Structures are given as C-alpha cells and as structure tokens.
Amino acid sequence: MPEGPQIIFLKEQLEPFIEQEILAAKGTAKNIPYSDLRGKVLTEIKTFGKELLLCFPAFTLRLHLMLFGKYAINHQSKRELQLGLEFVTGEVNFYACDCRLIHESLDKVYDWSTDVLHPTFDSDKALEKLFRQPKRLICDALLDQKILAGVGNGIKNEILFRRHIHPASLVGQIPEADLIYLVRDCASFSAEYLSWKQEGTEKESWQVYRQNTCPRDQVPLRKEKIGKSGRSCYYCEKCQILYLSNS
C-alpha cells in the first residue's frame, strides 16, 4: 500500500494535467459518473495521508490505492482498470483502488493536522492520542491513520529501528521521551522518504524494511507479522528494546 510520500510523489507527477479538461473517463469503480467527468477541468491536486485528491470546480475525486494498488501514467497495465482519465497531454490509470466523489469542502472532511507531511501537522495532538492508548502495540498505533495519516509499513519499520524500539512494545511502557521523538520521526523520516522517491534512491536507502541484516549489529533481522494490523515487522532482537508491562 503506497505511503504518504509515495502519494505526494504521484501528485507531483500528475501536476502537468492541472488546468486540463478530461477528454474521456472509464473503469469499473462503482458510483463514479464516468460520462459526467468528461469536460471537467482539473483545478488542483491535493493529498491527505495515503489519499490522492483530484479537485474539480464542483467536487473532488478521491482515490485510495489499496494494499496492491497501482497506477500508470501514459501507459496501461493488464490489470483490471478501476479508473482511467484521459487528458489533452496524456492519461493516468488506477488499479486496485477505492474511488469516490466528495462534494463537501475538504476542510470539513479532513483534519490536515494529522497528516505527517502537511505543513500544519500537529505532533502534540498525535502524542496525546498515543497516550490515550497505553495498551496498544506501537506497531499498530503507528499505522493508525487517525493518529498519523500517511505513515505506512515501511515508515513504521524504519523509525522503530532508528529509535531502538521493538515493534511489539506497548505504547504505555515506552519512555515518554522516546514517544516524543518517535512522533517527530514520523514527519522527518516521511520527508526524507519523499526525497528518495524524487531522487530515485528508494531501494538502496532502507535500513531494515525488506532487508535481511541489521546494519548496526550485523545479525539477521527478524521478520514476522505482529499486532492486529497483520503487517510485516522487520526488527533486530539485539538492538531494539521490547517494552512490556511488568504486571
């Protein structure tokens, strides 16, 4: 599932289509009025966490790439097309995604301060939400989009490794100072991740995510599904501390 930095990178790739009208729209996504999209002018592109927001004068087309979601710009994939938009200078096609129309003001729909890459991101608010869930596993809490919109599995694994915290640690047992830095890292690392995408250096930049050896201790990394999210955790048993209740 694409994370916040990847969606912003997608936004940047689509920006040449701004101020262009849709020549044709097609796909299998439900509740999308394909014929009505024709002739509409794309006025702006925004993002919220893992969501892409294509803005038109009277509505916003919201796209969320799911676990296996993909997109193709100026070419097509052999997968089932959920939504395809053709503009004057090119096309964009989305696969395995959730598509819907938003007619309300986006400021009423979204709390921008929860988006780790938005200028108004409020780390104190995110920290307060974590404090209210002391018995939750930190690997699950970091993926909660109501707390840290845009954080995905890669970001989760990397920042836990950077802060020497085991993914199965309980939120309430992690030292407060470490939680503060962890939340801040969500924003700073996400910005770093975006720069990898822009520079084309993503694959060689990961330290533990989808890697085999701990770069600090040179021992094999563990990979297992931990928590209710069921997402894979990559961690080092030697240098990442497991914070659990003593009771």
% of the chain beyond a pLDDT of 90: 91
Query: Please, what sign has the CA dihedral across residues 231, 236, 182, 119?
Result: negative
Residue-level pLDDT at 172: 97
Fold of 112-235: Helicase, Ruva Protein; domain 3 (1.10.8)
Query: What are the start and end residues of each CATH 3.20.190.10 domain in the chain?
Result: 4-109
Per-residue pLDDT at 215 exceeds 80: yes
Among candidate residues 42, 40, 36, the one with its CA nearest the CA of residue 16: 42
Q: Where does 4-109 sit in CATH, by number? A: 3.20.190.10
Predicted confidence (pLDDT) per residue in 104-135, tens digit: 999 999 999 999 999 999 999 999 999 999 99
pLDDT band at 246 (very low <50, low <70, confident <90, very high): low
DSSP state string for 135-196: TSBHHHHTT-TTTSBT--HHHHHHHHHHTTB-TT-BGGGS-HHHHHHHHHHHHHHHHHHHHH
Residue-level pLDDT at 247: 43
Predicted confidence (pLDDT) per residue in 35-79, tens digit: 999 999 999 999 999 999 999 999 999 999 987 889 999 998 889
Query: What are the start and end residues of each CATH 1.10.8.50 domain in the chain?
Result: 112-235
Single-letter amino acid code for the residue at 188: S
